Amino acid sequence: MRKMGIDPGMRRVGIALSDEDGWLASPYKTLARTSDDAMFSALADEASSHAVDEIVMGLPVRMNGLEGPEAKRARKLAKLLEKASGLRVTLWDERLTTVAAERELRSSGLRGERKKALIDQAAATLLLQSFLDARRHAG
């Protein structure tokens, strides 16, 4: 079954999906975030339509390994998303995923909102691929 990676920001939510075997993460889409309820509903619908069995959500841990208010908010969002989707939501350290995504897209020539949307998708993809790789090497 597929995994879904999400990079939940205040304005946009980047989404990535794995292949059915859980080996490769690919960018999927970016949702504009209007409210938490709308976001949870849209993510639950996307998960259902793609036969996702687990959602991996970014946990914003500080570079020193400590959790700040952003991480507390992510934990709360994960619980609410579990309730809305009926799926397990695994939190995964997202340190530097957005920075890496920006670096990868720097030379693309894209600007503005389109570039920001792609950065969110790329960050979700890097997050999900890291999770898939770690799970594969652990098992």
CATH number assigned to the domain comprising residue 96: 3.30.420.140
Count of domains forming the chain: 1
pLDDT at position 37 over 70: yes
**pTM score of the predicted model:** 0.84
Domain residues for the domain of 85 are 2-138
Question: 74 has which bridge partners?
Answer: none
b/e sequence 23-34, b meaning 16+ C-beta within 10 Å: eebebbebbeee
Q: What is the pLDDT of residues 38-90, one digit of tens each?
A: 999 999 999 999 999 999 999 988 778 788 888 898 899 899 999 999 999 99
Q: Is residue 81 within 8 Å of residue 33, measured between CB atoms?
A: no
